[in-house]
Amino acid sequence: GENVEQHPSTLSVQEGDSAVIKCTYSDSASNYFPWYKQELGKRPQLIIDIRSNVGEKKDQRIAVTLNKTAKHFSLHITETQPEDSAVYFCAATLSGGSYIPTFGRGTSLIVHP
Partner 1 sequence: EPEVTQTPSHQVTQMGQEVILRCVPISNHLYFYWYRQILGQKVEFLVSFYNNEISEKSEIFDDQFSVERPDGSNFTLKIRSTKLEDSAMYFCASSFTGTLDTIYFGEGSWLTVV
Residues of the shown chain interacting with partner 1 in the complex, contacts defined by CB under 8 A: 31-32, 34, 36, 42-46, 49, 51, 89, 95-106
* Order of strands, sheet of 56-59, starting from the edge strand that comes earlier in the sequence: 4-7, 19-25, 72-77, 62-67, 56-59
Nearer to partner 1 by Cβ, of 26 and 45: the residue is 45
- For residues 39 and 73, what is the distance between their CA atoms, to the nearest angstrom? 22
**Least Cβ distance, residue 92 to partner 1 (angstroms):** 12
**Least Cβ distance, residue 4 to partner 1 (angstroms):** 9
Nearer to partner 1 by Cβ, of 29 and 79: the residue is 29
**Least Cβ distance, residue 16 to partner 1 (angstroms):** 28
The answer to whether 49 and 40 are in contact (CB under 8 A) is: no
Nearer to partner 1 by Cβ, of 19 and 36: the residue is 36
Nearer to partner 1 by Cβ, of 14 and 43: the residue is 43
**Least Cβ distance, residue 33 to partner 1 (angstroms):** 11
Return contacts of 38-43, CB within 8 angstroms, 24+ apart: 38/86, 38/87, 38/88, 38/89, 38/106, 39/86, 39/87, 40/86
